Amino acid sequence: MVRVLPLFALAALSFSPVRGIELDVTSVDSIKSAASSLASQLVSYYTANSTGRATGILPSPYNWWEAGALFDTLIQYSHLTGDTQYDSLIETGLLSQVGSNSDFMPVNQSATEGNDDQATWALAAMSAAEAQFTNSNNTNTKWLTLADTVFNILTQRWDTSTCSGGLRWQIYSFNQGFDYKNTASNGHFFQLASRLARFTGNATYETWANVAYNWTKGAGFIDSKWNVYDGASIVNANCSDITKIQFSYTAGSYLSGVAHMYNLTNGNSKWKTELDGLLNRTLSVFWENGTVKAATEIACEKTESCTIDMIPMKGLLGHWLADTLQMAPYTTATISSLYTSSAQAAAAACDDTGCSEYWDGKHTGTGGNSTGDVGTSIDALSFVQGLLWQDAGLDGLPATVNGTAVAPPNTTTTATGAGATATKKSEGMAMRAGMGVLSGVLGSMMWLML
Ligand SMILES: *[C@@H]1O[C@H](CO)[C@@H](O)[C@H](O)[C@H]1NC(C)=O
Ligand SMILES: *[C@@H]1O[C@H](CO)[C@@H](O)[C@H](O)[C@H]1NC(C)=O
Ligand SMILES: *[C@@H]1O[C@H](CO)[C@@H](O)[C@H](O)[C@H]1NC(C)=O
Ligand SMILES: *[C@@H]1O[C@H](CO)[C@@H](O)[C@H](O)[C@H]1NC(C)=O
Ligand SMILES: *[C@@H]1O[C@H](CO)[C@@H](O)[C@H](O)[C@H]1NC(C)=O
Ligand SMILES: *[C@@H]1O[C@H](CO)[C@@H](O)[C@H](O)[C@H]1NC(C)=O
Ligand SMILES: *[C@@H]1O[C@H](CO)[C@@H](O)[C@H](O)[C@H]1NC(C)=O
Ligand SMILES: *[C@@H]1O[C@H](CO)[C@@H](O)[C@H](O)[C@H]1NC(C)=O
Ligand SMILES: *[C@@H]1O[C@H](CO)[C@@H](O)[C@H](O)[C@H]1NC(C)=O
Ligand SMILES: *[C@@H]1O[C@H](CO)[C@@H](O)[C@H](O)[C@H]1NC(C)=O
Ligand SMILES: *[C@@H]1O[C@H](CO)[C@@H](O)[C@H](O)[C@H]1NC(C)=O
Ligand SMILES: *[C@@H]1O[C@H](CO)[C@@H](O)[C@H](O)[C@H]1NC(C)=O
pLDDT tens digits for range 199-231: 888 899 999 999 999 999 999 999 999 999 999
DSSP assignment of 266-284 equals TS-HHHHHHHHHHHHHHHH
Instruction: Flag whether 319 is in a domain.
Output: yes
CA 182 to chain CA centroid, nearest Å: 15
What is the Å distance from ligand 1's center to 93 Cα? 13
Q: Parallel, antiparallel, or unpaired: how do β-strands 350-351 and 354-355 relate?
A: antiparallel
- Residue 294 clears pLDDT 70, i.e. is over it: yes
Task: State which residues form the domain around 225.
Answer: 7-422
The whole-number average pLDDT for the span 360-366 is: 66
H or E segment to which residue 339 belongs? helix 332-348
User: Is 449 inside any structural domain?
Assistant: no
- The rounded distance, in Å, linking the Cα atoms of 132 and 402 is 10
Q: By alpha-carbon position, which residue is closest to atom 13 of ligand 12?
A: 410
379 within ligand 10 shell (Cβ under 6 A): no
Number of domains present in the structure of the chain: 1
Q: Tell me which H or E stretch contains 242.
A: strand 242-243
- Interval between CA 380 and ligand 7 midpoint (Å): 38
Residue 247 has pLDDT above 60, yes or no: yes
Decide whether any atom of ligand 4 lies within 6 Å of the 139 Cβ: yes
Q: What is the CATH number of the domain that holds 385?
A: 1.50.10.20
- For 257, other C-beta atoms within 10 Å of its C-beta total 33
Question: Residue 427 burial by CB count (10 A; 0-12/13-18/19+): exposed, middle or buried?
Answer: exposed
> Residue 282: is its pLDDT beyond 60?
yes
For ligand 12, whether the C-beta of 412 sits within 6 Å is yes
Residue having the nearest C-alpha atom to atom 4 of ligand 11: 394
Looking at the domain assignment, is residue 391 inside a domain?
yes
The structure's pTM equals: 0.83
Which residue from 198, 202, 410, 413 has its CB within 8 A of the most atoms of ligand 6, so it is best to mutate? 202
| Domain contains 431 | no
**pLDDT confidence bin for 43, thresholds 50/70/90:** very high
pLDDT, averaged across the chain = 83
Q: Is residue 306 over pLDDT 50?
A: yes
SS (H, E, C) 284-336: HHHCHHHCCCCCCCCCCCCCCCCCCCCCCHHHHHHHHHHHHHHHCHHHHHHHH
Reported as a pLDDT band with limits 50, 70 and 90, residue 49 is: low
CA–chain centroid gap for 360, Å, is: 23
Residue 167 lies in a domain: yes
* Residue 442 forms part of a structural domain: no
444 in a structural domain: no
Please give the average per-residue pLDDT across 248-263, as a whole number: 97
> 417 lies in a domain?
yes
| pLDDT tens track for 399-441 | 455 455 555 555 555 555 543 333 322 222 222 333 333 433 3
Render pLDDT for 311-332 as a digit per residue (tens, 0 to 9). 999 999 999 999 999 999 999 9
